[in-house]
Amino acid sequence: MLDMIIGHEKILNFLEKALENKVLSHAYCFVGPDNVGKRTVACHLASKILNTEPEKLSTHPDFLHLTREIDEKKGKLKKDLSVAQAKQVRNFLQNRSWFENGTRITVIDEAELLNTEAANALLKTIEETSDDSLMFLLTTDDKALPATVRSRCQVINFDLVSDRDILSGLKKLDFGDQSAKEATNLAWGRPGRAVQLLQDSELLQDYKSELERWRKMLTQPFYAKLKNVEDLFDDKHQSRGKEKIKRTVDVWIMLWREFLLKQVMDNHGDVKISSKNVLSIIDDLRAVQGYLNRNINPRLLMEQILLKF
């Protein structure tokens, strides 16, 4: 049940109609925030095509899910998707299906992290893709993909889901009313994040803590803000530390958007931050998410952002 799609009815109807009429594209690029439902929709469609349950896709011989690999020496995720992985996709799609008239399907997570060689190899694969294969590229930013790759995919944008739809979906998953409301309020339009919060009490507490931290920093002097974020850099395990910073940045982006969209500046007393500056902060926070994958010093990045508010 946790693979149930919350929201995105128009996208789902469009894809299912294309499947029914046998006019699916050979390559799709799903664009939208993390945890909004891109992978869930891709896997839902794949499970229909392969006539299997979504939870059994990972063991289906005609399905390949590509994600960043773990660097065995460093014990952390590699910073990009490699050319070897792109070649793995090519080899997989070039092989015949295990079933008569079957389809080979690939889902590529974080496609924006394809390195140059990998993107070039994938481009060739897309150009040579046959009618019995299907590829889904999932990304938070399609502009980070090479234009040549993007132009050969049908791009579908996933918007944030309304709180009403998320709350309704969570109730159908048998989560309690109060906990569902709390998770919906903290998910900021992303159903996958709402489910994560309900399944992980530690993550839920982290979100609450970040909300409190952010509110305090709105009125703190710079030196106090630096002290307030010091705990983000005390994890000696680099991979864990980066994930912690990413979660924090993710929450801050949502909070600044809410600050801007609801025009709550007048409700913060002495807090006076121009819309232009808020937009600049949001852009910088988005950049941090990308820089963290390139091993740029996160402390320096954070200090630059804190100077703006």
Total Cβ atoms within 10 A of residue 16: 14
Show me where the domains of the chain are located. 9-157, 200-306
> Which pLDDT score, from 0 to 100, does residue 254 have?
79
As a whole number, the mean pLDDT across the chain is 87
Per-residue pLDDT at 200 exceeds 60: yes
Q: Which residue would you say has higher pLDDT here, 284 or 8? A: 8
Confidence of residue 264 (pLDDT cuts 50, 70, 90): very low
CA–CA separation, 292 and 248 (whole Å): 12
Q: Please give the single-letter amino acid code of residue 137.
A: L
CA–CA separation, 122 and 116 (whole Å): 10
Spell out the SS3 assignment of 153-220. CEEEECCCCCHHHHHHHHHHCCCCHHHHHHHHHHHCCCHHHHHHHHHCHHHHHHHHHHHHHHHHHCCC
pLDDT tens per residue, range 287-301: 877 777 666 777 888
Q: Which residue would you say has higher pLDDT here, 35 or 242? A: 35
Can you spell out the DSSP letters for 204-268?
Answer: HHHHHHHHHHHHHHTTS-HHHHHHHTGGGG--SSHHHHHHHHHHHHHHHHHHHHHHHHTTGGGGG
Question: What is the torsion angle, in degrees rounded to the nearest 10, for the CA atoms of residue 212, residue 218, residue 223 and residue 227?
Answer: 10
Query: What mean pLDDT comes out for the span 198-226?
Result: 88
Per-residue pLDDT at 3 exceeds 70: no
* Contact in structure between 48 and 16 (CB atoms under 8 Å): yes
Total Cβ atoms within 10 A of residue 51: 9
pLDDT tens per residue, range 102-122: 899 999 999 999 999 999 999
Query: What mean pLDDT comes out for the span 245-270?
Result: 69
> Which pLDDT score, from 0 to 100, does residue 309 have?
80
> What's the CATH number for 9-157?
3.40.50.300
pLDDT tens per residue, range 145-183: 989 999 999 999 999 999 999 999 999 998 989 999 999
* Contact in structure between 80 and 68 (CB atoms under 8 Å): yes
Confidence of residue 265 (pLDDT cuts 50, 70, 90): very low
Confidence of residue 136 (pLDDT cuts 50, 70, 90): very high
Q: Which residues of 156-172 are buried (b: 16+ CB within 10 A; e: fewer)?
A: bebebbeeebbbebbee
